[in-house]
Amino acid sequence: MNRDVIVVGAGIVGCAIAYELARRGASVEIVDERHPVGMGATQASAGVLAPYIEARDGNPLLDLGVRSLDLFDDFMTRVSSDSGIAVSYRRTGTIDVAVDESEMRALRTTADVLARRGVAARMLDRAGASAEEPHLAGDVIGALVIDAHGFVGAGDLTRALSVAARRHGAQLIEQSRVRRIVRTGAELIVETDRGSLNGTAVVLAAGSWSGTIDIEGVAARMPVRPVRGQLMHLTWSGPPLKRVTWSRRCYLVPWDDGSLLVGATVEDAGFDERATVAGVRDLLEAACDVVPQARTAGFRAARVGLRPGTSDDLPVIGPSSVVQGLVYATGHYRNGVLLAPLTAQLVADAMLDNRIDPMLEKVSPARFGL
Ligand SMILES: Cc1cc2nc3c(=O)[nH]c(=O)nc-3n(C[C@H](O)[C@H](O)[C@H](O)COP(=O)(O)OP(=O)(O)OC[C@H]3O[C@@H](n4cnc5c(N)ncnc54)[C@H](O)[C@@H]3O)c2cc1C
């Protein structure tokens, strides 16, 4: 079915949805207050695709992440072909390290969960961990390797999604701030500081700022809050780390171009998008503690993003239970890159084919009265 859809927010979530809707034949406008696309939380993301880290049975986030990870190979092939842009994407796995017995116990618990699910994972002792990743510090006493994990260039992927969406006819409107969404008759009006847009449906994908947009007729408070994350961009020399290296205090992501990302802080700092001395110091110390050679790395930049967190740590995805034609896709917190392909699929299925995936029940806006 053809629909006029306005997507509010051109982060990775909004761009993935706009692309999916446009490719399936909908007429789409994407509106964002920043320029270029992906300048919210997405530009700071490490792009790690790792749903099984600290996996525990019964957590809906695990099921969402695993389903989305399964979509990634095809998603990347399609987006690269539709956009003509090559995006870095590796499935080289993760090595999750332990430095004491309690961390080892947590890794064993995760390994048991993965064994029950038939997911390939290997527990390593001290010698095994050091053979697997020679850069690890001497106090690492064991590790868990999960082969299915990987990472992707989140900024490039978002650009590619916006180009692919436009090639399928979507229009991108930048530097326009959405202030209010109002229903009038069969249409939804999106009021921006540069005029109004109207369509039969609106997708709200404005990340941490989703709650700052006034929606007429919705009394409930949007449960999304900004959770600041700082991430260091370093230049690495010598043989790179083999895969994403994860510890309780930081993670390190080795890129093909010789750079290394070190993330990430988790801070309650309102809408403050500044890097701080404490954030930079803590992350660099943590990185050097787990991989001592990080001391010789060059410092390129500190990136900062506001993750859209919710009170139950689950995203808010699906049709509004209050305003007809309004669909939410926000609150992806620490996993928006991982969850982008699945979010786009679930939203497009619901909007274009009226297919409500059972998984949407867990992340429904109705649980917050939205
Ligand atoms: C340091 C850090 C590391 C991370 N690492 C990972 C990782 O390894 N793996 C992973 O999966 N996730 C990771 N994340 C989380 C991930 O980045 C986010 O979940 C994801 O980027 C959210 O995407 P989004 O499109 O919902 O929001 P955003 O990227 O924030 O996009 C929202 C967009 O909406 C626009 N907007 C807001 N208000 C308005 C308005 N009123 N009018 C118009 N436009 C508006 C903004 O300008 C912005 O472009 C990380 C996040 C951080 C900060």
**DSSP secondary structure string, 289-338?**
HHSGGGGGPEEEEEEEEEEEE-TTS--EEEE-SSSTTEEEEE--GGGHHH
| Average pLDDT value for residue range 277-303 | 98
Q: Coil, strand, or helix at residue 161?
A: helix
**Are 229 and 264 spatial neighbours (Cβ–Cβ below 8 Å)?**
yes
Name the residue of 42, 176, 244 whose CB sits within 8 Å of the most ligand 1 atoms, as the mutation to test its pocket. Answer: 42
Alpha helices by DSSP H, listed for 118-228, are 126-132, 154-167
Rounded Cα gap, residues 273 and 226, in angstroms: 10
Which numbered atom of ligand 1 lies nearest the CA of 50? 9
Ligand 1 binding pocket includes 305 (Cβ within 6 Å):
yes
Percent of the chain with pLDDT over 70: 99
Identify the pLDDT of residue 256. 84
Domains of the chain with bracketed CATH: 4-83+154-223+311-368 (3.50.50.60), 94-147 (no CATH), 225-309 (3.30.9.10)
Whether residue 2 is predicted with pLDDT greater than 70 in this model: the reply is: no
Identify the pLDDT of residue 237. 87
Q: Please count the other Cβ atoms lying within 10 Å of the Cβ belonging to residue 80.
A: 16
**What are the structure tokens assigned to 362, written together?**
């867990």
Ligand 1 binding pocket includes 178 (Cβ within 6 Å):
yes
Identify the pLDDT of residue 350. 98
Rounded to two decimals, the pTM is 0.98
Residue whose token pair is 């982008």: 340
Ligand 1 binding pocket includes 332 (Cβ within 6 Å):
yes
Mean pLDDT of the chain: 97
> pLDDT of 133-164, one tens digit each?
999 999 999 999 999 999 999 999 999 999 99
Whether residue 3 is predicted with pLDDT greater than 90 in this model: the reply is: no
Q: Coil, strand, or helix at residue 343?
A: helix
